């Protein structure tokens, strides 16, 4: 059991009962304070002794103690500097609860051998109540969950939350018999005076991921008791890196080998808890670059991941995502997820900060006009030198001409399983319809660009490489549908409701726009069965292991269903 749990327990006791009670708990349990508060794994017997002593000294029942712990967990997470992260999960309580699954999806990437709980929220959009269905791999968690939901409602949304148990939905009933599933009618009223968010103690900061993982680990006992140094952007040099690089280009012939640059993930990507997150947010706040950004990147002969993205947030970003959700912050944290995915496939998770990205602002000399112009002309060659492409896929991505150009290039040179749509924080119930309509209505003529002459560059590329504009547009639509379905598959495997919400619309869209074979392929996908079949229960903690092939289990075959062959055959060069 991780020491985080003991730290939270101590904080709860000191806050609610005082130092004397905490000392009595230590004495009754026979635990040494210095040892139990060390943030390492402890024997389960230590945690059980502390929890048992807590119930004895506070006169709380196990159920009351667990609900109090759930409430204090929220308070502790906020005090640890994670308020912005939690508020990014939703601007209302129903949205927040529905998006907890997205948080769990991200945490599963950090802990690939774990299966996190699932929440299903049924809400009509107007009432002051909702139905909440909760499923976990572990039993008897209802008291902790109730505490978390009530305190999150109070502190994040200024609500007085009540929870009444009710029968579980049909497909959870077997789990309910084993005390692993529970359902509530959750109702709320607005508090007259919403409580202020807790002050953050400095300099102490603990991550949501670490705290949440500790909570998941702690839950394995409940049935028995019924960070990276900030990247230095480089010092200003007398002779700029861009100037030296341009002189080198003038002296040699093969510009792509000279101009290819890569930026380490740690300079542009950060988890929500990482101390260098602020510098990464600053990087993503504007497209305007300078010599200090160029000097963050390094010469490279090969790059792990080409990052395709739009610098501008969608116009309705605040309406759809919430006023507290920072576009730059989401991009930085999403890229950290991509780096971790890549590292797990080719290195190890602990080495994710060493993954390399090609990002325009850092890898093109923005304040050297001649070098910038040369680099832009070499964009396609840069893509060829990258192993994979990561698309930060907002619902307006396909409206940006240069984004579409990058997609056109990568579809010529890369197989579809090398293209990753990072959508975890972007796709919610509120935004999914926007994605579907963006793909349905995609047209090259409707793309936007700052300079109209840029459009001629893309048109020339399509004329050179593809049969026609119409065929290219169909390829983009088919690609987006197949890759969005792949991106949604693991999320959809959690329940029939999530399958209907996030996966089925892509099969329906394929059929609606005349791509019957692609629709047939997607309708053959059994996301729920795949998730169940590739999950192996752990005897110790109830965790599961995912098969490594699940990531793209149907991408190649369904991608080729557009014309009955590989979709890249719609290009002249293939």
Q: Clarify whether residues 176 and 283 are in a common domain.
A: no
Nearest CA among 541, 545, 529 for reference residue 494: 529
Residue 480 has pLDDT above 90, yes or no: yes
pTM of the model: 0.71
Q: Clarify whether residues 211 and 271 are in a common domain.
A: no
Q: Clarify whether residues 210 and 256 are in a common domain.
A: no
* pLDDT value for 312: 92
pLDDT band at 564 (very low <50, low <70, confident <90, very high): very low
**Structural domain contains residue 236:** no
For 86-115, what is the mean pLDDT?
76
Q: Clarify whether residues 271 and 325 are in a common domain.
A: yes
Q: Clarify whether residues 217 and 72 are in a common domain.
A: yes
Angle between helices 432-440 and 504-512 (to 10 degrees): 20
Most confident of 212-226, 520-534, 544-558: 520-534
Q: Clarify whether residues 199 and 323 are in a common domain.
A: no
**Structural domain contains residue 399:** no
**Structural domain contains residue 39:** no
Q: Clarify whether residues 190 and 81 are in a common domain.
A: yes
Q: Clarify whether residues 441 and 562 are in a common domain.
A: yes
**Structural domain contains residue 537:** yes
Please give the tally of structural domains in the chain. 3
Residues 132 and 172 sit within 8 Å (Cβ to Cβ): no
Could you give the strand order of the β-sheet that contains 261-264, starting from the edge strand earlier in sequence?
298-299, 261-264, 356-358, 303-308, 386-392, 419-422
For 10-24, what is the mean pLDDT?
94
* Among 392, 419, 453, residue at a domain's last position: 392
Q: Clarify whether residues 293 and 387 are in a common domain.
A: yes
Nearest CA among 377, 235, 245, 357 for reference residue 306: 357
For residue 133, give both structure tokens: 């269905």
**Structural domain contains residue 128:** yes
List, in order, residues 6 or more apart from 99 with CB less than 8 Å away.
Answer: 89, 90, 428
Q: Where are the alpha helices (DSSP H) in 141-203?
A: 142-157, 173-177
Residue 574 has pLDDT above 70, yes or no: no
Q: Clarify whether residues 317 and 450 are in a common domain.
A: no
Nearest CA among 572, 393, 380, 573 for reference residue 482: 393
Q: Clarify whether residues 318 and 203 are in a common domain.
A: no
Sign of the CA dihedral with 262 first, then 265, 266, and 272 last: positive
Q: Provide the 8-state DSSP code for 396.
A: T
* pLDDT value for 226: 52
List the CATH number of the domain containing 91: 3.90.1520.10
* pLDDT value for 114: 59
* Among 376, 392, 408, residue at a domain's last position: 392
Q: pLDDT (tens digit, 9 = 90+) per residue, 36-73? A: 888 777 887 888 889 899 999 999 998 899 899 999 98
Q: Clarify whether residues 554 and 439 are in a common domain.
A: yes
Distance in angstroms (rounded) separating the CA atoms of residues 51 and 47 = 6
Sign of the CA dihedral with 463 first, then 466, 467, and 473 last: negative
Torsion of CA 404, 409, 411, 414, to 10 degrees: -140
Distance in angstroms (rounded) separating the CA atoms of residues 2 and 472 = 53
For residue 12, give both structure tokens: 């709860």
Q: Where are the alpha helices (DSSP H) in 17-87?
A: 19-29, 33-36, 44-58, 62-77, 83-87
Determine the structural domain holding residue 373 and report its residue range.
245-392
Q: pLDDT (tens digit, 9 = 90+) per residue, 528-557? A: 888 777 654 433 344 333 333 333 333 333
Nearest CA among 382, 405, 383, 403 for reference residue 394: 403
pLDDT band at 558 (very low <50, low <70, confident <90, very high): very low
């Amino acid at each position: 059991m991780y020491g985080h749990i003991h730290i939270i327990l101590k904080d709860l006791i000191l806050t609610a009962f005082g130092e004397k009670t905490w000392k009595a708990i230590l004495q009754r349990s026979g635990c040494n304070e210095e040892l139990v508060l060390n943030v390492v794994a402890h024997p389960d017997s230590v945690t059980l002794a502390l929890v048992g002593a807590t119930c004895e000294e506070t006169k709380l029942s196990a159920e009351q103690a667990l609900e109090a712990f759930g409430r204090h967990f929220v308070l502790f997470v906020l005090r640890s500097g994670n308020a912005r992260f939690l508020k990014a999960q939703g601007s209302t309580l129903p949205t927040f609860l529905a998006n907890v699954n997205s948080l769990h999806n991200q945490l599963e990437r950090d802990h690939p051998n774990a299966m996190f709980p699932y929440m299903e929220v049924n809400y009509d959009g107007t009432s002051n109540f909702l139905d909440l269905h909760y499923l976990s791999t572990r039993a008897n968690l209802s008291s902790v969950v109730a505490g978390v939901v009530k305190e999150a409602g109070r502190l994040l949304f200024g609500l007085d939350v009540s929870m009444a148990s009710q029968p579980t939905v049909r497909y959870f009933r077997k789990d309910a018999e084993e005390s692993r599933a529970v359902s509530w009618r959750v109702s709320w009223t607005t508090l007259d005076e919403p409580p202020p968010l807790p002050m953050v103690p400095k300099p102490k900061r603990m991550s949501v991921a670490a705290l949440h993982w500790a909570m998941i680990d702690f839950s394995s006992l409940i049935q028995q008791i019924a960070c990276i140094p900030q990247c230095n952007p480089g010092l200003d040099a007398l002779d700029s890196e861009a100037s030296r690089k341009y002189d080198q280009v003038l002296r040699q012939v093969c510009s792509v080998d000279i101009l290819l640059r890569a930026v380490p993930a740690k300079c542009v990507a950060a988890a929500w808890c990482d101390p260098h997150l602020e510098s990464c947010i600053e990087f993503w706040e504007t497209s305007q670059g300078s010599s200090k950004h160029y000097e963050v990147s390094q010469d490279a002969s090969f790059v792990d991941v080409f990052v395709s993205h739009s610098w501008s947030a969608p116009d309705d970003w605040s309406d759809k995502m919430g006023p507290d959700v920072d576009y730059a912050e989401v991009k930085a944290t999403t890229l950290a997820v991509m780096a971790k995915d890549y590292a797990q496939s080719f290195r190890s998770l602990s080495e994710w900060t060493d993954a390399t990205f090609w990002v325009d602002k850092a890898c093109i000399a923005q304040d050297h006009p001649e070098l910038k112009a040369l680099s832009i002309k070499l964009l396609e060659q840069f893509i060829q030198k990258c192993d994979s492409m990561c698309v930060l896929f907002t619902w307006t991505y396909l409206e940006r001409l240069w984004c579409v150009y990058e997609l056109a290039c990568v579809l010529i040179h890369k197989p579809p399983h090398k293209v990753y749509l990072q959508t975890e924080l972007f796709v919610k119930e509120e935004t999914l319809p926007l994605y579907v309509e963006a793909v349905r209505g995609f047209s090259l003529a409707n793309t936007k660009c700052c300079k109209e002459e840029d459009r001629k560059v893309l048109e020339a590329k399509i004329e050179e490489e593809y049969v026609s504009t119409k065929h290219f547009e169909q390829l983009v639509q088919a690609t987006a549908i197949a890759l969005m379905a792949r991106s949604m598959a693991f999320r959809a495997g959690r329940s029939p409701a999530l399958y209907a919400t996030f996966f089925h619309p892509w099969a329906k869209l394929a059929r609606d726009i005349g791509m019957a074979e692609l629709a047939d392929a997607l309708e053959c996908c059994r996301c729920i069965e795949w998730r169940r079949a590739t999950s192996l229960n752990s005897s110790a903690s109830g965790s599961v292991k995912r098969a490594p092939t699940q990531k793209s289990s149907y991408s190649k075959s369904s991608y080729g269903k557009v014309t009955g062959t590989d979709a890249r055959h719609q290009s002249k060069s293939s």
